[in-house]
Each structure stands twice: as structure tokens, then as C-alpha cells.
Chain A
């Protein structure tokens, strides 16, 4: 112990003088600007996705050959009764873009220099930086990525990158619980605007040069509920899902 203490004391000056840039790879952000939008639109309330609309006339992503083969492999496994990827079963969040189309409400908060999107499911927070910064040069992949945004008139435009590669894309035409794969090059551009007094539309354009043969576009329509509050959602509170020895979903503690 004394040996360690000596070493630390010897290193102390070096540690104190170490450049602050260690661990940072971008300049300090600009101070928060005045109101993100001169007259913030009324996006108050809780917004629930309209699933009937979501399933109408939407298209599935078109995969590159390598990623199409990966999905075909998962479908074959599913057909044989074997498990397929589903992180939500273990209380992991699904990641973008699925974050925006869960059967739970989202809300939008406007503060100086940022828009914050709260998703009730898994109590998630998406921070959209509106202060003119770019994406960090040294990616730190996360479930919901790094988001920067700006207003174009009444449309909020959000650009998201740095998404973890181990999340999955929600399919549309082939709804069989076999999700779609993507790579770490996934990029999501959203254009969000009011489409009616109580209707919000998020139009997404999703690209992934490694996994998608062409951009994947779809819209999520939300209906407003001004009288709903978002509740806490801690998935690990009482998650009884587990997998058995062959990887199949089962429930804990059920009488045989």
C-alpha cells in the first residue's frame, strides 16, 4: 500500500499538468443560445404513435447482400423455433429508430440550446443539441446516438449518428418478430412537424452504407394527449422474462 502511495505521489505533478483535452476530442461547446426557436411551437402533451397508420403502405429496409443474408439466417432460425435477437426482453432499450415508435408516449421539451425528447418506455432521454455543434469526431456509440438539430421554419430537423451496432431495425412488411440488422454506420435524419392541431409527424430517412442498399424512409404519426403524464418505467423493477437452456423465452416462477 505504501509502495502505491509513493508511486501516486511521484506521478501527482504529471497528473495535475495532464492536458484537459485528454478524454475530450472536441472544443468546448458554445454557451446555450437564446430560445431554440423564436416562438416554440406548441408541442405540449404526451404523443402516442398511431400504429394503424404506421403499418399502412410502409416499406421495409432494403439490405445489402451481406445484411440480407444475416436477416435470412435469423428468419430461418425463427422458423425452426430458435430464438432471435430481442434486447428488450432483457430490459435493454431497443435503440433508434425503434425508440420513436414504442407503444408508450413521448414528450418534447424546449430549453435554450436543446430539444429534449423523453420516451416513457425505459424512461429514456434523447438530447438534441441545437447550439450549432457538430458530431464528435471520436464516436462513442450509444443506444439513441448523438443528435444535433436545427429548425427549418416549423420543422425540427434532427441528425443522429454514433449508434450502437447491436440494436435492430423494426420491420414493417414482414412482421414476424425477426428484426433487421444494421451497422455502426447507421445515420438517421428526422423531420418533425405538426401535421394538424393534435397530430405530429416524424419523417425519418435512414441510411447505412454497409447494411442498407438504399435510404429507408418512413413516417411515424403521433396523436396528442394533453391530459397524460409520463410515468416512470424501470424495466428491471420486475422482469420475469428469462430464456431457457435452448434460448427460448420463458417466464420465471410459473407453476408447472
Chain B
């Protein structure tokens, strides 16, 4: 597979300075926009649904066990228009996902980007800098 870098990520970040008005399905206050967490692990599930698609990823923890992290993506309607498919991520894929983590410390967050095993980087096409909560 050719290495692809989705430039949508760049253009979205450039536009990010203009915050989206009340367009969010829900407030992003539950996520800490100032922090980024990198999750390296194995895709357990990729749910291609509205209002959000979801990635469940199993990540080894410091105790030698596995945590299942829940990652919220955008609407598949928007993702599909930027090249994503329901088959883009499959259970068993090895991947590194970058998220804004949940403020409450639960193992979840808002999707920013994923790097696949072959080096392909897929960004969140609907990423726009949410207004400060």
C-alpha cells in the first residue's frame, strides 16, 4: 500500500482558527483539548455509525495487561466524503491513535489521527478547533 498522508488534516487545522459555531452534536468539554495521548495497540472494533463512528483499541498497560480505549470519531457521512470507509480500520489491525483524552480520566478520547502499520496517516476530516469550553 502506498504511503498516504491525508492533507485534509492540514487544511482542517488551517481552518481550525475559525471555530465552528454551535455545530457540534454535543459539547466537546468532556475532552481535554490541551492534551494529546498516543495509543499504540490493536484495533478491536471500528463502528461506522451516526452520530459518531467509534474505534475500540486494545493497548498494553503498565501492569502487563490490556486496556480497551474508546475513541470517538466524526460522522461517517463526513468521513466518507474524505475517503474513509467502514473497512478502513479492521479488527486486528495494528495502529497508533492520537486522541484528546477524556477529562474524567476514563479510557477514552476524541480522535485526532491514526497511523496504520504501513505508515499511512489518516486524520479526522471534521477536525475543527472546538471553542474553549
Contact = CB atoms under 8 A, between A and B. Distances in A.
Contacts of B106: 251, 254-256
Contacts, number: 115
A124 to B, nearest CB: 13
Please report whether the interface of chain A is mostly helix, strand, loop or mixed according to DSSP.
loop
Interface size class of B (residues with CB under 8 A): 35 or more
A233 B50 contact: yes
A39 interface: no
B24 interface: yes
A19 B70 CA distance: 58
B69 A241 contact: no
Given A101-B21, A170-B21, A255 B70 contact: yes
A68 interface: no
Interface of A: 51-52, 54-56, 84, 86, 88-89, 91, 94, 98, 101-104, 120, 168, 170-172, 175-177, 179, 228, 231, 233-235, 237-241, 248-251, 253-256
15 contacts: A51-B23, A88-B26, A103-B20, A103-B23, A104-B77, A175-B21, A176-B133, A177-B24, A177-B133, A233-B75, A237-B49, A240-B72, A255-B106, A255-B108, A256-B105
Contacts of B131: 175-177
Interface in B1-25: 15, 18-25
Contact of A240 (B15, B19, B54): B54
Contacts of A250: 30, 104
Contacts of A91: 51
B132 interface: yes
